[in-house]
Chain A
Amino acid sequence: MSDQYPQRILPKAALRRWLERLLVSHRLVGPVADTETVTSYRPVGPEPMLRLSGPRPTVSPKAHLLPQTETLFTFQGSGPALALTAAAPDATPTVVFGVRPCDARALRRLDDVFLGRTERDVHYENRRQATVLVGLACATPSWGCFCTSVGGSPAGTEGLDMLLTDLGDRYHVAVLTPPGEELAASAETVEATANDAEAVRAQHAEAAARMPPEFELEAALRNVRWEAPLWAQVAERCLACGVCSFLCPTCHCFDMQDEVTPDGGVRFRCWDTCQFSEFTQMGAGHNPRPTQTERARQRVSHKFKYLVEEFGRAGCTGCGRCVERCPVNIDIRAILREFAGEGQ
């Protein structure tokens, strides 16, 4: 926890007023109940109803930095009159409220690709720079959660501007960055006491204790490799859907498509996944990843080998969504456990 800013307490009764004040000058995105069991991050309006308790939401806030569908430009006219209009930058000041530590950490991985590696992707950059992330520490892991196995924590602060911890009738507020401080200024907070600090420390410790690491990450990373019978075993039952990739907070592969409209058209990008069979399919017929075996190897190797080689960190923050939502119970923890257990 950063010592730079004084720790604060926000009574829960004051939360609603704070959110409404934020709404005046920001787009407010937070976890809302889509159904009894499904929680997504969506923009909320006046009288925001956020689902802030329980395990992490079904869906990550990834779509607010990298939308599922995003216009890149439009085109009008034809021939010499053809003109392109770049998509207006989306730089609306945005607060994403209730971000879990795994998802905040994941955004750093997206930054590696979209703000690093080569030139900056301005579509992503505009959103990213305009977004403040208010985190919420996890008290309850979901059954697939394994953040502690990949160097994370249910109270991790990496990537967050502020971290809230639910203490029952109040939130402990830990400001982490200048944008976070600016945001906290509009909340009716009081100074946290030593008791508050202790309660927070105890809750964070208890939450982490509920999730002992499930495998030795360094060993797993060392042993992920090209030839392994594991790939075919995983592929055998994989249905080649996009659930794991689309729910994953670090997955970022996209497709680009054109759509014709009455006055011209639009080029957009949309989420894509290396698990779809036509992902690497070439026009003349060749597909270098022709079966699910190659595609399973690509997914796991990309996250736990190639990204590590390129950026020094794995493309996984242990949110567990792929584990929970895979229709056929492919559990990446079991895959990593097997690699880790292979000795040196």
Chain B
Amino acid sequence: MTEDRSLYLPNLAVIDRIAQETWDTKTFRAVFSDPGLRDAFTYHPGQFQEVSVFGVGEATFCLASTPTRSGYIEFSAKRVGALTSALHELSEGDVVGIRGPYGNWFPHEEMRGKRLLFVGGGIGMAPLRSLLNYCLDRRSDFGHIDIFYGARTPGDLCYTEEFEAWRNAPDVNLYLAVDKGDERWTGYVGVIPRYVREVAPKAENAVAITCGPPVMIKFTLPELQQLGFTDEQIITTLEMKMKCGVGKCGRCNIGHTYVCLDGPVFTYAQIRRLPQEF
């Protein structure tokens, strides 16, 4: 008989900060209840967790915080269904369950010394924020950074409190865009793919990391290719419905690839080799 820990048993964590990003998106900061785990927990940007609201269920969220800032983790959730609604009802001090980190991660080792092009849309910025802050915390390891981040309206942009820090970091350009502005918006109005084309970031010795709504990815890819990015230079994350997160429940496969094991981070070259069912 084995008394090993069940793969499905979460660790308890206390929500110690909730930030309202947009009308339907919140960022939750959680601290593990077990002090040992609090200090020892580590992960890589791009990985995900299974977050439980006990009594309601469990769902998948990518880690939005960076492992370079330890002692807590963050994830962002858009209110779309039962579990995310329950999350949005939580207050600081409430307890959730966390399993993880799972999945592969952004190949930050291979990105060292390179130019980085972040292209994010809406809540897709969450995993990118993890990698971005990681890179900014280790600034000298990486080359020039361009950040393109867009949303439908200014009110739909997340992480607004960090824009200043991103913009002011050394050798970083921040390009914000909205599909539709408001009376106060003085920035770019238009879709991200067009903005990317206009700014034309260099592809040489660069890596593009993109995450956002399918329509944004679909039209950004050709722009990146036009700029000279090869399929190997473009990285994204795939999202599939998940339950166990550990390769047992059979739900998240695309062909024989399990997104929870071989993903969620893929290069575009890998995606082209997958059956197109995601």
> Which A residues have a C-beta under 8 Å from some C-beta of B?
72-73, 75, 78-80, 82, 84, 86-87, 89, 91, 113-114, 117-123, 125-126, 129-130, 226, 252-258, 260, 264-265, 267, 269, 272, 274, 279-286, 288-289, 294, 298, 301-302, 305-307, 309-310
Question: Any chain A CB within 8 A of the CB of B249?
Answer: yes
Does B227 sit within 8 A of A, measured CB to CB?
Answer: no
Q: List 12 A-B contacts (CB under 8 A).
A: A79-B93, A80-B14, A122-B6, A122-B7, A256-B57, A279-B251, A280-B241, A283-B81, A285-B80, A301-B255, A305-B256, A306-B256
Q: How far is the CB of B4 from chain A (nearest CB, A)?
A: 5
Min CB–CB distance A226 → chain B (angstroms): 5
Contact partners of B254 in chain A: CB under 8 A: 288
On chain A, the residues within 8 Å of B9 by CB distance are 72-73, 84, 86
Query: Which of chain B's residues have a CB closer than 8 A to the CB of A253?
Result: 249-251
Q: Are B248 and A121 in contact (CB under 8 A)?
A: yes
**Which 6 pairs across A and B sit closest by C-beta, in order of nearness?**
A253-B250, A306-B256, A91-B1, A283-B81, A283-B80, A72-B8
Interface residues of B in 220-255 (CB under 8 A from A): 239-241, 243-244, 246-251, 253-255
Q: Contact: B80 with A284, CB < 8 Å?
A: yes
Q: Tell me if B190 counts as interface (CB < 8 A to partner A).
A: no
Q: Does the CB pair B1–A302 fall under 8 Å?
A: no
Asked if residues A288 and B80 are in contact (CB atoms below 8 Å), the reply is no
**Consensus secondary structure, chain A interface:** mixed
Smallest CB separation, B130 vs chain A (Å): 20
CA distance A256 to B5 in the complex (A): 17
Partner of A269, one of B3, B8, B78: B8
Which single residue of chain B is at the shortest CB-CB distance from A268? B8
A82-B95, A257-B57, A283-B80 given; A72·B6 CB < 8 A: yes
List residues of chain A with CB within 8 A of the CB of B2: 89, 120, 122, 125-126, 129
Asked if B95 contacts A86 (CB within 8 A), the reply is no
Which residues of chain B come closer than 8 Å to A82, judged between CB atoms?
12, 54, 95
Total number of B residues with any Cβ neighbor in A under 8 Å: 48
> What 1/0 mask marks residues of chain B from 8 to 35 whose CB sits below 8 Å from any chain A CB?
1110101000000000000000000000
What's the Cα separation between A318 and B240 when bound, in Å?
Answer: 31
User: Once the chains are docked, how many angstroms separate the CA of A129 from the CA of B3?
Assistant: 13
Q: How far is the CB of B75 from chain A (nearest CB, A)?
A: 14
Interchain pairs with CB closer than 8 A, number: 136
Q: What is the CA–CA distance of A163 and B253 in the complex, to the nearest angstrom?
A: 36
In the bound complex, do residue B255 and residue A306 qualify as a contact, i.e. CB atoms below 8 Å apart?
Answer: yes
* Smallest CB gap from A253: residue in B: B250
The B50-99 residues at the A interface (CB cut-off 8 A) are: 52, 54-59, 78, 80-81, 83-84, 93-95, 97
Q: In chain A, what residue has the closest Cβ to B244?
A: A256
A132 to B64, CA, bound (A): 47
Chain B positions within 8 Å of A79 at CB level? 93-95
B110 CB-CB contact with A under 8 Å: no
Q: Is the CB of B277 within 8 A of A267?
A: no
Residue of B nearest to A82 (CB): B95
Bound CA–CA A78/B57 (angstroms)? 15
Contacts of B36 in A (CB 8 A): none
Question: Majority SS of interface residues in chain B?
Answer: loop
Q: Which residues of B contact A286 (CB under 8 A)?
A: 214
**Do A282 and B241 touch (CB < 8 A)?**
yes
| A254, B247: Cβ atoms closer than 8 Å | no
CA distance A72 to B251 in the complex (A): 18
- A258 nearest CB across to chain B (Å): 5
Interchain CB contact under 8 A, B246 and A119: yes
Contact between A126 and B1, CB atoms less than 8 A apart: yes
Q: Tell whether, in the assembled complex, residue A302 and residue B7 are in contact, meaning their CB atoms are under 8 Å apart.
A: no
Contacts of A78 in B (CB 8 A): 95
Contact of B247 with A117 in the complex, beta carbons under 8 Å: yes
User: Is B172 interfacial (CB-CB < 8 Å)?
Assistant: no
A87 to B, closest residue via Cβ: B6
Are B3 and A309 in contact, CB atoms less than 8 angstroms apart? no
| Pairwise interchain contact B54-A265, C-beta atoms closer than 8 A | yes
Contact check: which of A89, A252, A264, A272 meets B3 at CB < 8 Å?
Answer: A89
Contact A86 B6 (CB under 8 A): yes
Task: Name the B residues within 8 Å of A280 (CB-CB).
Answer: 240-241, 251
Partner of B277, one of A129, A285, A288: A288
With a CB–CB cut-off of 8 A, which chain A residues contact B248? 113-114, 117-118, 121, 252, 254
The reply to whether B239 and A258 contact each other, CB–CB distance below 8 Å, is no
Residue of A nearest to B14 (CB): A80
Chain A residues in 8 Å Cβ range of B6: 72-73, 86-87, 122-123
Find chain B residues with CB under 8 A from A302 CB: 250, 253
A255 to B57, CA, bound (A): 11
User: Are A267 and B8 in contact, CB atoms less than 8 angstroms apart?
Assistant: yes
Q: How far is the CB of B196 from chain A (nearest CB, A)?
A: 24
CA A281 to CA B239, docked complex, whole Å? 11
Determine if B163 is an interface residue (Cβ-Cβ < 8 Å): no
B278 x A254 contact (CB < 8 A): no
Q: How far is the CA of A70 from the CA of B247 in the complex (A)?
A: 18
- The interface residues of chain B lying within 8 Å CB-to-CB of A114 are 248
CA distance in complex: A129, B4 (Å): 14
Check A121 against B54 for contact (C-beta < 8 Å).
no
B261 within 8 A of A: yes
19 other A-B residue contacts (CB within 8 Å) besides A117-B261, A255-B243, A288-B278: A73-B9, A79-B94, A84-B9, A89-B1, A114-B248, A119-B246, A122-B2, A126-B1, A254-B243, A265-B54, A272-B251, A274-B250, A279-B241, A283-B84, A284-B80, A286-B214, A288-B254, A298-B253, A310-B256
Chain B residue numbers with a CB within 8 Å of A307 are 256
